[in-house]
Structure 1
Amino acid sequence: MGRLRRVYFGYYVIAALFIAEIAVTGVSFYSFSLFITAWQDDSALGWSLTAINGSFLIGLPLAFTSPLLGRFIDERGARLAMLLGVPLIGGTFVLEAFMTEIWHLWVAQGLLITGQSAAFLGTGKLVGLWFDTDRGRMMGIALAGNNAGGVIMAPMSAVFIDAFGWRTTVFVFGIAIIVINSLLIWFWVRDKPEDVIEEARRVGREREASTAEALLAATARDGGETSESASAARSQGVTWQESLRMSAFWLLTLAFIATFASIFAVLNQLAKHLEIVGISTEAAGAALGLLGAFGFLGKLIFGFLSERFPSRYGFAAICVLQVFGILILLLLRTPAEGWLLWPFVAVYGVGFGAVGALMPLVVADTFGLLAYATIFGAQQLILRIVNGGLPPVVGWSVDYTGTYEAAFFATIVSLFIGAIAVVFARTEATAAR
C-alpha cells in the first residue's frame, strides 16, 4: 500500500480516462458502421442509410448545450460532469436494444451526444491540471483509450453481432459502461486544484503545483478581483469572451470542422463502403480494429512531438496524413484490390487517431486552462452546427450514386483547408511557445 501511495495520483486520473474511453468510443465510433450494416440487414426495421445517418441531425439543437456544459465544467469540475454523463451514455445503449422505429434512433443519438459531451469535454482540462512538462504524452495516453476501444470493441462487436444479434450486443455494452466507468471515475478522478497542489508537492512536481496554485488564484471569487488574482488569471489563459475576438479561435474551429467531417464521411461509413466494394464483414471488423491500433500509435507519437514542436503544426500534419489515407481508400474498388485496405488503415489510422490528443492540446496551448472547457464547448457548438447535416448528405449521396467517392473527395478538400488554417492560428501565447 505504501508503494502505491508513492505513485503520483495524476497517473490514476490518466488510467481512469483511458479505460473510460475504451467502450464508449469503441461502440459509438469504431463499431457504428457495423451497426449500420446490422440495422439495414434487419428486415423488421427497413431503415435506409439516409434515415440512419439523418439521426445525427439531432445534434444540431443539442449543440447549443456544449458551451453550457463547458461552463459547468470550468465552474463545478469535470468529475461531476463525468459522473452524470457516463450513466447517460450507458443507458442510451441499453435503450437502443429496444428500438423498433427510426425516431427511436434519433432520440438515442441525442442522449448519446449529450452524455459524451458531459463525460469527456473536460478531459483536456483534467490532463492540463495534473500535468505540465509531460502534458503531451499524458494527453496522448489518456485519449488513446478511444483507439484501444477500436482495437478491442470493433472486432468484439463484429463477433457479438454475428453470434447474439445487435440488440443483445448493445444492451450488454450499455450495462458494462454504466458499472465499470462510473466506478473508475468515482475512485480515480479528482479535479480540484487543491488536490493537485498537495499531491504535486508530495512527489516533487513543482511546476504542476505552481500551475494549480495560479489556476486556484485566478478562479477565486472571495474578496473580489485583486491585482494578484488578475495576474494569475492572465498566466492561466484568456476568458471565453476574449477567445471569441481572436482569429485563432475561428481558424482552429475551421480545422476541427475538417477532422469531424472525416469522422462522419469516412470512419463512421467505412464498413458500409467496404461492403459496397465487396469486402467481407470480418475484414471490415479487423480493419476497424487495426484503425484503433494505429490511432493509438498516432496519439503517442504526436503527443510526444507536441512537447517539442507547436501542437498546431502537428495538427496540420495529421490532416495531411488523413488525406493520403483517403486517397489510398479511393483506389480500393474491387475485392481484388483488397490489399489496399491495410496501407489505408496504417496511414489514415495514425493521422485520424492523433486528432483526439491534439485537439485539446491545441486549445490548451492557445487559450490556456482558465476557461478551457467553455472555449472548447463553444467550438463544439460550431462543429456540430456545421457538420450536423453532413451524415444525411453522405447517406443521400450513397443512396443516389451507389458509392462514397463524392463524400471522400469532399473530405480531402476540407482537410487541406483545415491544415492551412491551423498553421496560422496564432496568439501571443502560442508565438512565445
Structure 2
Amino acid sequence: MQSKISTATQNKLSINYGAVIIGITILLNFASMSFFYSYGVFLKPLAEELGSSRTQASLPLMIFLFSMSFSAPFIGGLLDKYPIRRIIMTATSVMSVGLILLSQIQSHLQLYIIVSLFIGISIQGVGALATNKLLTNWFYRYRGLALGASAIGLSFAAMLMPILSAGLIASFGWRTSYGIFGLAIFLIVVPLVAYLVFTRPEDKGLIKDFNQQSANTTAADTEPLGINYSSRDILLSANFWKIIIVMGIPSGVLTAMVTHVVPYLSDIGFSDLQAATLFSTIGISALFGKVFWGWLIDRFDARIAILFALAIQAGGIWQFLISASYWQFTFASVVYGLGMASIPSFQGVLVAKAFGNTSFGKVFGYTLPGMLPFTLGLIYFSASVYDHLSSYDIAFYTFIGLFLFAALVTARLKLNKT
C-alpha cells in the first residue's frame, strides 16, 4: 500500500516539473536582461561621475550587443555539448562578477572591458540562448507555448528594472546599486539552477511535455533529434539564411521602434508623458501576446503562424502612419505590441523545426550575429531618414515593405511538419 502511495505521489509531483523548468527560465530571462533594461537609468549618474559625453556613456550598449551576438555561437556549442546547468551557473557567476566590478570602475576603458568580457559574453549562457536550448530539450508538442511563457521574463525586466534601479540609485548611489544587483543575481539564480535545472527530462525519468514516466513513452512522444551540423553546414544552408531574414526583419524593426517611437510621438505633438505611456502600451500588449503566439505556433503550420504575426506587425506600423488621435495611437500600440510578441517564441521553434535538437544551441547561436545587420542597421536607417527628412514616415513605409519581403521568404522555408 505504501509503495502505491509513493508511486502516486511521485507521478503527481512529476506532472508539474515542466512548469518548474518554465518558471526558472522566466527568472533567467529576467536576470539576463537586467543590465540592458536598467542601463538607461544608470547612464546619467555614471556619465556625470566619469565625465562622459552621452556618446561615451551610450557606447557600452553597442559593445554589449556586439559581444552578446558574436559570443553566441561559442556559447551555443557549449550548451549542445555540456550539461546546461553547468553552463548557466558559470555564465551567471561571470555576469554577477561583471556587475560587481562595474561598481568599482574609474575610467571609460574599464567600463568597456567589463561590459564586453564579463556581461556581454556571458548573457547568452544565462538568458535567451540557454533558456531556448533548455526548453527545446524539455518540450516538443508544446514548445512554442513554453518559449512564449518563458519570454515573459524579458517583459518583466523591461517593466521592473528601470523602477527598481531608480529606487536603489536614489537610496544608495549607482555604484552600490550595481554591487547589489550582482550579488543578488548570484545568490538567487545559482542555487536555484543547481537544484532545479536538468538538461533533459530523461535525467529525471520523464519525457517531454507531460513529464510522464519514461516507461510510458510512445513513438508519438519522441522527437527526432536531427544531426550534428558543423559550422560550415549551418552557414552554407539556405534555410539558415531564410530564418535570418524571417526573424531578423521583425527584430530589426523592433529595435528601431524601441529607439525611435517615443521621439516620433513627441515630434507629432504628444507630451513626454503621453509618448511614454503609448510606448508602455506596446510592452504591456507584448506581455499578454507572448503566450498566445506560443500556443498558436504549436497548433498550426509554423509558416502560417509567422505570416499572421508579420501581417499584424505591418498593420500596427500602418496604424501609426494613419492615426490622428491619442486613442488611435493607443490602438496602434496594442496591435504592434501583440504582433512583435511573437519574436521570442518563433525564433526557437524555427531553429528546432529546421535543424532539430542536437545542434540547436550552435544554430541558434549563429542566428544572433546573423541578425545584427537588421537589429543595428534599422536603428541607424530610421535616424538617418529623420535627419534628412525631419519625418519617420519613409522609415515606417520601409518597415511595411520589409515585412512583405519576410512573408515571401517565410513561404519558402523548409520545416519539419512535426
Equivalent in the alignment of 1:319:
310
Please list, as runs of the form range in 1=range in 2, the aligned pairs for 1:66-81 lying within 5 A after superposition: 66-81=72-87
2:342 to 354, 357, 361: 354
CA contact (8 A) 1:56 1:389 kept: no
Q: Could you tell me how far 1:137 is from its partner in structure 2?
A: 1.8
TM-score (norm 2): 0.78
What amino acid is aligned across from residue 134 of structure 1 in structure 2? Y
The CA deviation string for residues 390-415 of structure 1, in whole angstroms up to 9 with x for no partner, is 55666666677766556545444433
Calculate percent identity across the aligned residue pairs. Answer: 20
Equivalent in the alignment of 2:406:
418
Tell me if 1:178 matches 2:186: yes
Equivalent in the alignment of 1:10:
18
What amino acid is aligned across from residue 76 of structure 1 in structure 2? Y
Equivalent in the alignment of 2:3:
none
What amino acid is aligned across from residue 352 of structure 2 in structure 1? A
Q: Could you tell me how far 1:250 is from its partner in structure 2?
A: 1.2
Question: Structure 2 vs 1, CA of residues 77 and 345 (structure 1 numbering), >3 Å: closer, same or farther?
Answer: farther
Q: Could you tell me how far 1:82 is from its partner in structure 2?
A: 1.4
Equivalent in the alignment of 1:237:
226
Q: Could you tell me how far 1:104 is from its partner in structure 2?
A: 5.2
SS for the counterpart of 1:83 is helix
RMSD: 4.1
CA distance in 2, matches of 1:394, 1:167: 34
Where does the alignment leave 5 or more consecutive residues of structure 2 unmatched? 1-5
What amino acid is aligned across from residue 229 of structure 2 in structure 1? W
**Greater shift after overlay, 302-311 or 140-149?**
140-149
CA contact (8 A) 2:67 2:121 kept: no
Tell me if 1:188 matches 2:196: yes
Question: Structure 2 vs 1, CA of residues 353 and 203 (structure 1 numbering), >3 Å: closer, same or farther?
Answer: closer
Question: Structure 2 vs 1, CA of residues 347 and 176 (structure 1 numbering), >3 Å: closer, same or farther?
Answer: farther
The CA deviation string for residues 270-327 of structure 1, in whole angstroms up to 9 with x for no partner, is 5555566665665566555543332222111111111211223322332332233334
CA distance in 1, matches of 2:217, 2:390: 57
Equivalent in the alignment of 2:93:
87
What amino acid is aligned across from residue 228 of structure 2 in structure 1? T
Please list, as runs of the form range in 1=range in 2, the aligned pairs for 1:27-426 lying within 5 A after superposition: 28-29=36-37, 31=38, 38=44, 42=48, 45-48=51-54, 52=58, 55-56=61-62, 59-60=65-66, 63-96=69-102, 103=109, 106-110=112-116, 111-120=118-127, 121-157=129-165, 170-192=178-200, 194-198=202-206, 204=212, 235-241=224-230, 242-271=233-262, 286-287=277-278, 289-330=280-321, 337-384=325-372, 387-388=375-376, 391=379, 407-426=395-414
CA distance in 1, matches of 2:210, 2:377: 50
**Bigger RCO (CA 8 Å, 6+ sep):** 1
CA distance in 2, matches of 1:399, 1:52: 19
CA contact (8 A) 1:13 1:188 kept: yes
CA distance in 2, matches of 1:139, 1:69: 19
TM-score (norm 1): 0.76
Q: Could you tell me how far 1:364 is from its partner in structure 2?
A: 1.0
CA distance in 2, matches of 1:157, 1:402: 34
Where does the alignment leave 5 or more consecutive residues of structure 1 unmatched? 216-234
CA contact (8 A) 2:75 2:124 kept: yes
Question: Structure 2 vs 1, CA of residues 371 and 202 (structure 1 numbering), >3 Å: closer, same or farther?
Answer: closer
